[in-house]
C-alpha cells in the first residue's frame, strides 16, 4: 500500500518557477517508491526566511497556520511534507510557536477565523528527506535501483535549512550523513569528507548582497572540485540555484572556471530508478549533468 | 523620528532591554546570553556585521537603542541557523535578529540604502499580493529597486542568467501578466490584515 502525505509544494516548485525541475523529479521518484503526495489545495507562500521585513511575527506565522489548517481539513490523518527547505522550516517553526505561546496561538486563531479556518495544530511537519530516511529507508531505495550510478563521485551539499535547526533523523548538525547515504543507496560514491557540506550559500542574500554571497558560494564549489566530485547534490531549492546558476558570475569575479552540475537527490534517484531524462528533469539543469544524461539514455 | 518611535523611546527610557522583551520576536531570550561569542564566530557573514549578535545582545543591555536599531547588522543574517544550532544557552538568535530587523523597520530606523531590507520588503509585497511568490516580477523589481538606470544595467549584466532560466523553464514570461495565485484571495488578505492589526495594536499599546 502506498504511503500518503499531505503535500506542501511551495512557490518555487510551480510551473515556470526556479525549482519546477525539483518537483518533476520528486514526482517521478515518489511514483517509483510508492509514495502518494496529496497536494494541499489552495496553499499559500510561507514567507520563507526573508519575509520578515514586511511581515511581523504574527502575519508570518499566520501564513503557515493557514496551510496547516487547510491540510487538517483536507488530509486529516496525514503528515505534512514539504520538499523545499524554507517551506519545511517556516511551517514547522510556526507549528511549534503556536504550541509554545498562548499569545501567538490566540493571534493566529483570530487571523485564521477571518479566512473561515481553524486549526488543531496536531500535525507532524516533515521534509521529504525525512520521509525517505525514516519511512522508506535506504535499503528500500537500493531495491528500486535499475541503473546504479556507478563510477559517479558526488559531493553531498546539505546546506543549512535541511539540517539546522531541526536536524534530520537525530543526526549531527556539523556532519550529517543522510545525503551521503542516499548517494550510496543509488550506487554512486559519496564524498563523506566534503568540507563545505553544511556551509551557507548566502540564501536569499544572493539576490540582495551578491558579492558577499559569491564569497560564500565559491568555496562550496571549490571544495567539491578539490575532492574530485563529478557533481554536487543538494536537497534545497535555494542551495541548488545559488550553487548552479551563478557559476558564470563567480568565474567572472574570481577568474575561476567552475562548470560543475548541481542536482537534486530526487534527480539522482529518478535516473537510478530507470526513469527518462525528462521525468528526472535533467532538462532543467542550467549546467548539464552529462554523466546522468548518459545513464538515463542507456 | 517617527511618532511611534518617539513614543516607545520615551516610554522605555533607560530600559531598552525591557523594550526588546516586550516588543521584539523572542526578545525575552536576550537575557539568556552569556557573551561567549560562539554566534559571532559561527556566522557566515561574520566579517560584514557592524555589530555581531553577541555585541548586539550586550548593546541591548547597555541601552544602546539607536545604535542597535539603526544598524544594518541584523540585515546580514542569511538565516543559516548556525548560531541557533551552536548557542550553548539555546538562544533563538536567528529569530531575534529577524525580530530586531522587523522592529527597526516598523520604527522607520533602517538605513535607507540597506539592500536586504529593500529586497525583503519587495519579497513580502510580492507574496502577499496573490498569496504566492511571482518570481519573474520579484526578479524584475529586485533589479530596479535602486532606480531605472541601475536597473537596466543590472538587467543587462544578468541577461545570460535570465536566458538560462527561461531555457530550462525555470522562469516564465507569462508570469508577467497574471501568474500563480491562491484561490481564496479575499480570505487570505483578511487573515493577514487581522494578524498585522493585532501585532500593531499590541506595540501601540506598549507605547502608551
Asked if the C-beta of B135 comes within 8 angstroms of chain A's C-beta atoms, the answer is yes
- The whole domain housing A9 covers 3-128
Residues 14 through 53 of chain B touching chain A, CB cutoff 8 Å: 25, 44-45, 48
A287 with A145, same domain: the answer is yes
Could you tell me the CA-to-CA distances from A47 to A62, A215, A240, A283 in Å, in that order? Answer: 10, 26, 19, 28
Asked if the C-beta of A284 comes within 8 angstroms of chain B's C-beta atoms, the answer is yes
| Tens-digit pLDDT profile for residues A20-36 | 999 999 999 999 999 99
Query: How far off is chain A from B146, nearest CA to CA, in Å?
Result: 11
Q: Is A127 helix (H, G, I), strand (E, B) or coil?
A: strand
CATH number of A244's domain? 3.40.50.11810
| Residue A2 binned pLDDT confidence (cut-offs 50, 70, 90) | very high
A77 with A172, same domain: the answer is no
Q: pTM for this structure?
A: 0.97
| Residue among A291, A296, A165, A171 nearest A233 (CA) | A291
Query: How far off is chain B from A148, nearest CA to CA, in Å?
Result: 26
Contact A111 B198 (CB under 8 A): yes
| Tens-digit pLDDT profile for residues A149-161 | 999 999 999 999 9
Of A44, A165, A245, the CB nearest to B188: A44
Confidence at residue B1, expressed as pLDDT on a 0 to 100 scale: 56
Asked if the C-beta of A253 comes within 8 angstroms of chain B's C-beta atoms, the answer is no
Q: How many CB atoms lie within 10 A of CB B54?
A: 21
A44 with A184, same domain: the answer is no
Asked if the C-beta of B137 comes within 8 angstroms of chain A's C-beta atoms, the answer is no
Domain end (from A128, A150, A165): A128
Query: How far off is chain A from B1, nearest CA to CA, in Å?
Result: 19
* Average pLDDT of the residues in B12-19: 95
Distance of CA A17 to the CA centre of its chain: 15
Contact B120 A216 (CB under 8 A): no
The domain limits of chain B are 3-111, 115-196
* Average pLDDT of the residues in A124-137: 98
Over its C-alpha atoms, chain B yields an Rg (Å, rounded) of 20
| Tens-digit pLDDT profile for residues B74-112 | 999 999 999 999 999 999 999 999 999 999 999 999 999
| Residue B2 binned pLDDT confidence (cut-offs 50, 70, 90) | confident
**pLDDT beyond 70 at A118:** yes
Query: How far off is chain A from B167, nearest CA to CA, in Å?
Result: 8
Confidence at residue A224, expressed as pLDDT on a 0 to 100 scale: 98
Of B94, B116, B187, the CB nearest to A116: B187
A155 with A105, same domain: the answer is no
CATH number of A77's domain? 1.20.1050.140
Q: Which residues pair with A3 in a beta bridge?
A: A35
Residues 46 through 85 of chain B touching chain A, CB cutoff 8 Å: 48, 76, 78-82, 84-85
Yes or no: say if B50 and B35 are a contact pair by the CB < 8 Å rule. Answer: no
User: Is residue A123 classed exposed, middle or buried when 0-12, 13-18 and 19+ CB atoms within 10 A define those classes?
Assistant: buried
Domain end (from A99, A128, A157): A128
The second-level CATH assignment, the architecture, of B3-111 is Orthogonal Bundle (1.10)
Q: What ipTM goes with this model?
A: 0.96
Domain end (from A84, A102, A128): A128
**pLDDT beyond 80 at A194:** yes
**pLDDT beyond 70 at B38:** yes
Domain count, chain A: 2
Percentage, residues of chain A above pLDDT 90:
99
Amino acid at each position: 500500500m502506498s504511503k500518503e502525505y499531505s503535500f506542501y509544494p511551495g512557490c518555487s516548485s510551480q510551473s515556470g518557477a526556479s525549482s519546477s525541475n525539483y518537483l518533476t523529479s520528486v514526482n517521478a521518484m515518489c511514483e517509483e517508491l510508492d509514495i502518494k503526495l496529496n497536494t494541499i489545495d489552495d496553499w499559500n507562500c510561507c514567507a520563507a526566511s526573508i519575509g520578515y521585513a514586511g511581515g511581523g511575527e504574527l502575519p508570518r506565522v499566520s501564513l503557515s497556520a493557514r496551510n496547516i489548517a487547510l491540510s487538517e481539513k483536507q488530509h486529516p490523518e496525514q503528515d505534512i511534507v514539504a520538499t523545499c527547505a524554507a517551506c519545511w522550516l517556516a511551517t514547522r517553526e510556526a507549528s511549534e510557536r503556536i504550541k509554545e505561546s498562548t499569545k501567538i496561538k490566540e493571534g493566529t486563531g483570530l487571523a485564521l477565523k477571518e479566512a473561515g479556518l481553524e486549526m488543531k495544530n496536531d500535525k507532524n511537519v516533515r521534509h521529504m528527506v525525512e520521509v525517505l530516511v525514516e519511512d522508506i529507508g535506504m535499503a528500500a531505495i537500493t531495491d528500486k535501483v535499475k541503473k546504479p550510478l556507478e563510477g559517479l563521485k558526488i559531493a553531498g551539499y546539505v546546506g543549512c535549512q535541511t539540517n539546522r535547526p531541526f536536524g534530520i533523523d537525530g543526526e549531527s548538525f556539523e556532519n550529517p550523513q543522510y545525503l551521503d547515504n542516499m548517494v550510496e543507496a543509488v550506487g554512486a560514491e559519496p564524498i563523506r569528507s566534503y568540507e563545505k557540506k553544511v556551509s551557507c550559500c548566502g540564501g536569499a542574500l544572493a539576490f540582495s548582497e551578491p558579492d558577499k554571497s559569491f564569497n560564500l558560494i565559491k568555496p562550496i564549489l571549490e571544495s567539491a572540485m578539490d575532492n574530485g566530485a563529478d557533481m554536487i547534490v543538494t536537497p534545497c531549492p535555494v542551495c541548488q540555484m545559488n550553487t548552479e546558476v551563478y557559476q558564470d558570475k563567480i568565474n567572472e569575479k574570481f577568474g575561476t572556471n567552475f562548470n560543475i552540475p548541481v542536482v537534486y537527490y530526487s534527480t539522482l534517484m529518478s535516473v537510478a530508478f530507470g526513469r527518462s531524462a525528462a521525468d528526472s528533469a535533467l532538462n532543467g539543469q542550467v549546467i548539464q549533468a552529462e554523466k546522468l544524461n548518459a545513464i538515463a539514455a542507456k | 523620528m517617527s511618532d511611534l518611535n518617539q513614543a516607545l523611546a520615551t516610554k522605555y527610557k533607560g530600559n531598552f532591554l525591557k523594550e526588546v522583551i516586550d516588543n521584539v520576536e523572542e526578545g525575552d531570550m536576550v537575557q539568556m546570553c552569556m557573551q561567549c561569542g560562539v554566534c559571532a564566530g559561527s556566522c557566515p557573514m561574520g566579517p560584514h556585521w557592524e555589530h555581531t549578535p553577541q555585541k548586539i545582545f550586550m548593546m541591548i543591555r547597555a541601552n544602546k537603542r539607536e545604535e542597535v536599531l539603526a544598524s544594518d547588522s541584523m540585515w546580514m543574517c542569511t538565516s543559516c541557523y548556525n548560531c541557533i544550532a551552536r548557542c550553548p544557552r539555546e538562544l533563538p538568535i536567528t529569530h531575534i535578529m529577524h525580530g530586531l530587523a522587523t522592529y527597526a523597520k516598523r520604527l522607520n530606523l533602517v538605513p535607507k540604502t540597506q539592500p536586504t531590507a529593500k529586497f525583503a520588503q519587495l519579497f513580502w509585497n510580492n507574496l502577499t499580493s496573490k498569496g504566492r511568490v511571482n518570481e519573474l516580477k520579484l526578479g524584475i523589481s529586485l533589479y530596479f529597486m535602486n532606480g531605472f538606470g541601475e536597473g537596466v544595467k543590472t538587467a543587462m549584466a544578468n541577461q545570460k542568467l535570465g536566458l538560462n532560466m527561461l531555457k530550462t523553464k525555470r522562469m516564465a514570461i507569462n508570469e508577467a501578466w497574471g501568474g500563480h495565485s491562491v484561490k481564496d484571495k479575499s480570505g487570505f488578505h483578511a487573515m493577514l490584515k487581522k494578524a498585522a492589526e493585532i501585532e500593531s495594536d499590541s506595540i501601540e499599546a506598549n507605547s502608551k
